[in-house]
Amino acid sequence: MDTKVKIFINDEEYTEYIPNRMLLVDFIRDVAGLTGTHIGCTYEGVCGACTVQLNEQAIKSCLVLAVQADGHSITTVEGLAKGGVLTSLQKAFNDHHALQCGYCTPGILMNMDEFLKEHPNPTEEEIRHGLVGNLCRCTGYAHIVDAIRD
């Protein structure tokens, strides 16, 4: 059975008929065509690569049905930079070489964007605690923590 949904992603409206069981991550990637949101742990919610913001709150989009986002606003990593201008967090990731393969980076950026709004001057311990839901297999987190602190 299909359901009609209207989801706003990065300020653009997507109105579609979708299967009731379609996950939000699949809607973002397959319907909206926004591939910056990654699927890392095969829909188990443990890696954080699929993190987006639903009404400005970071969520793992592999654990949410797309029908649950009907009428709501989603921000993906493609929506962070406005007019091609990187956010200070994105610039800091670049400046501190806070990525290697980059697979986890979009999810970390989306999580930490929300985190920094609530904790504008976090300690290293707070940053590391905030990163708990995002796995990175390449960097060892040191450069990521430095970028977030910056």
Give the model confidence (pLDDT) of 110-142 as tens digits. 999 999 999 999 999 999 999 999 999 888 899
Tokens standing for residue 104:
């986890």
Largest CA distance in the chain: 48
What band does 90 get if pLDDT is binned at 50, 70 and 90?
A: very high
Phi, psi of 82 (to 5 degrees): -105, 125
Report residue 117 as tokens.
């709004």
DSSP 8-class letter at 86: P
Distances (CA, A) of 10 to 17, 27, 94, 126, 139: 20, 13, 22, 28, 29
Q: For the residues of 54-83, what is the DSSP string, one character each?
A: ETTEEEEGGGSBGGGGTT-EEE-GGGTSBT
Phi, psi of 137 (to 5 degrees): -100, 0
Against a cut of 0.85, is the pTM above it?
Answer: yes
> Does the structure show a pLDDT above 90 at 94?
yes
How far is C-alpha 12 from the chain's CA centre? 17
Q: Check if the beta carbon of residue 95 is closer than 8 Å to that of residue 36.
A: no
Specify whether the CB–CB gap between 85 and 140 falls below 8 A: no
Percentages of the chain per state (helix, strand, coil), in multiples of 5: 35, 20, 45
pLDDT at 149: 96
**What integer is the mean pLDDT of 81-99?**
95
Residue pLDDT, tens place only, 32-77: 999 999 999 989 999 999 999 999 999 999 999 999 999 999 999 9
